[in-house]
Structure 1
Amino acid sequence: MSKGSETITPETPTFPTRYWHKLEDGRVQCDLCPRYCKLRDGQRGLCFVRANRSDEIVLTSYGRSSGFCIDPIEKKPLNHFLPGTPVLSFGTAGCNLACKFCQNWDMSKSREMDTLMDQASPEKIARVAREMGCRSVAYTYNDPVIFMEYAIDIARACRAQGIKSVAVTAGYICDEPRREFFSYMDAANVDLKAFSDEFYLKLCGGQLDPVLETLKYLRHETDVWTEITTLLIPGENDSESELEAMSRWVVDNLGADTPWHFSAFHPDWKMMDHPPTPPVTLSRAREIAMSAGLHHVYTGNVHDERGGSTYCHRCGKRLIGRDWYVLTEWNLTADGRCCDCNSPCVGVFEKHPGEWGAKRLPINMELHP
């Protein structure tokens, strides 16, 4: 539980938030996520971007970003949501978890608001996404739940322009804000970092159960298209027993059609002493998950055309071939069925795939008045 030791200054720009309440001892408790940071006036929460100003929790990063970039949607990763299309991606600063292995630590662990140099209103972001031919906007790089007011306003503006919204999140959020936040999202990739409280506590400073609750909520109470990612760290969350238990939980609670991405760890942030994930570990995890009954399991951060492609779960036909982020085959009908056996493939598909490929295009918002 954070004591919020860092402070905000009178000059810090802020935006009002809803999920908090006052305590009898004079502090204010943030009720956005299961950390429940209890803050005195001027203190920041662990996420760094939510703070107590004049006995109210405010957001300090509204309207500011660490940068914008057009990516392939497969990089989020989402393999069953508008394949081949470009997505305008951005993040802010801070995070409500403290993962020692964070691979976006320069943004998610930032304590320097000066890194948020790109300013853009929600309406401008939606307009630029449309002008650049993006089918969606992704709230990513750091967890969007901590800047949910900004993300929700952008999502509203995007809907007015016919642009979808994608949340790339660890799912560490309380029930009431969870319901509001995801009511504006069209797709989500949720990090299921491991399947033990020990891992979450020791390496993330959090708990497992709130993440599982988010996944069940998305699957059973929303229409948000949801995929899962697990970063496999050698010696930490890659044992056969843990992968089997996690796979059984996904099948039993989310269903066999839930896409799952196993991605490769590389030494970073505070875990430089661990080796990179061998490709064979990802392939083994994929086999374990598929043996448990999952239909669409992928390998990531490695060159593996088989592990990155989508197959018909009934006849085995390669439906969507992928070489990294480039689509090499498309064998789906206009209504998303296998061209050979006519079995449906789960996902959000259009009549034709996008042609964005593997391009990564940084966007300077100042050039888009």
Structure 2
Amino acid sequence: MKEAMFYEKLEESKVRCGLCRFRCLITSGQRGHCRVRENRDGTLYSLVYRRAVAEQVDPIQKKPLFHLLPGTTSYSVSTVGCNFRCLHCQNYGIAQPYPPDVEGSGHDLSPEEIVKRAVDAGCRSIAYTYTEPTIFYEYAYDTAVLAKEAGLKNVFVTNGYIEEEPLKRIAPYLDAANIDLKGFTERFYRETVQASLDEVLECIRHYKKLGIWIELTTLVIPGRNDDDEQLQGIARFIADELGPSTPWHVTRFSPRYKMSDLPPTPTESLRAAVSTGVYAGLHYVYQGNVPGEGGGNTYCPGCGALLIRRYGYLVEKNLLSTGCCPSCDSRIEGVWDGASES
């Protein structure tokens, strides 16, 4: 165990957690909504510090992050737990553990060892992913500080529910984030993930304000968030508040967990979502989980030249090592070898 960061001690041994936007009030002996932070006699502890439940080398495209060092690999780690209750969770076995399964989960892995393994594997970044990195914040923070010292980038793959102060604290070490914008109505968020859309939008704005490179992902679920109103709302939000250079990944849903009765997303629906983003003026709209469609390619918004050709998670062609279009010399927004352009 490790004492948690960002909480307030209250009367009667209660605590108020300030890490994520649920702001849980936790009595002694109880845990927060994430199930991995417990109040013990008025002190809040993380139960998952140094308890890695998954680790592997992934292509950075898998996160998905298409504008951060394309073609490189990212050392990916997670613990158990999540503060959302997504009905379609793809990693529900580790993200939605029963409380008794949390303590003793995973294996001991220190921040120092994570950084060493990442360097030894030739990775250019460390990704805090698979579950929600906010809930293992202390572990991610300590690792990110060491990773930055070692010359590695740090990446969150997140649901966008962290509070502003913890985000500010880790921002100097956090280079990029892929944030799920799962739908665009309060009803969808309430019924499908048990959270608030407004809180997610505010969190995304904070990422942008802090200068962290962000890419957004929407898993397009038939009958749930694939209507024109929601997709157009997301596209307008990105264009108006984040800027048209913010990549948007519209990704195919596959039946799983508590949504196993739904069909996969038709390819036509993804094409329509891409068109929605392009019509809204977005420069980079990517179609995910449909290899061979060409929807993962990066084109110059200035001259239309093909800059990166992808097949699934594989980069087959990359002309953006310097972040500049070789045909028209336009700067392409992202995090490249030398600098960040946003």
TM-score, normalised via structure 1 length: 0.88
Partner Cα separation in structure 2 for residue 279 and residue 208 of structure 1 = 26
- Could you tell me whether the CA contact under 8 Å between 1:67 and 1:116 is conserved in 2? no
- Could you tell me whether the CA contact under 8 Å between 1:234 and 1:274 is conserved in 2? yes
* Equivalent residue in structure 1 for 2:301, among 295, 302, 313: 313
Mean CA deviation greater in 66-75 or 177-186: 177-186
**Higher RCO (CA 8 Å, separation ≥ 6 residues):** 1
Shift of 1:331: 2.7
User: 1:1-369 counterparts in 2 under 5 A?
Assistant: 14-24=1-11, 26-111=13-98, 112-113=101-102, 116-222=105-211, 224-332=212-320, 334-350=321-337
Corresponding residue number in structure 2 for 1:367: none
Provide runs of 4+ in structure 1 moved above 6 Å: none
Deviation by residue 1:316-366 (Cα, 9 ceiling, x = unmatched): 11100001111122233x532111111111111227xxxxxxxxxxxxxxx
Mean CA deviation greater in 101-110 or 35-44: 35-44
- Could you tell me whether the CA contact under 8 Å between 2:77 and 2:129 is conserved in 1? yes
Shift of 1:274: 1.3
Partner Cα separation in structure 1 for residue 292 and residue 246 of structure 2 = 20
- Helix, strand or coil: the match of 2:257? coil
Structure 2, gaps ≥5 residues long: none
Shift of 1:36: 2.0
Which letter maps to 1:245? Answer: G
Corresponding residue number in structure 2 for 1:3: none
Deviation by residue 1:24-55 (Cα, 9 ceiling, x = unmatched): 45422212122122222121112011110120
Tell me how many residue pairs correspond in the alignment.
336
Partner Cα separation in structure 1 for residue 161 and residue 85 of structure 2 = 12
- Helix, strand or coil: the match of 1:103? coil
Deviation by residue 1:252-278 (Cα, 9 ceiling, x = unmatched): 000000011011111111111211111
Partner Cα separation in structure 2 for residue 205 and residue 182 of structure 1 = 26
- Helix, strand or coil: the match of 1:273? coil
Shift of 1:305: 4.1
Deviation by residue 1:118-165 (Cα, 9 ceiling, x = unmatched): 321111111111111010010000010111111000001111211111
Shift of 1:23: 3.5
What percent of counterpart residues are identical? Answer: 43
TM-score, normalised via structure 2 length: 0.95
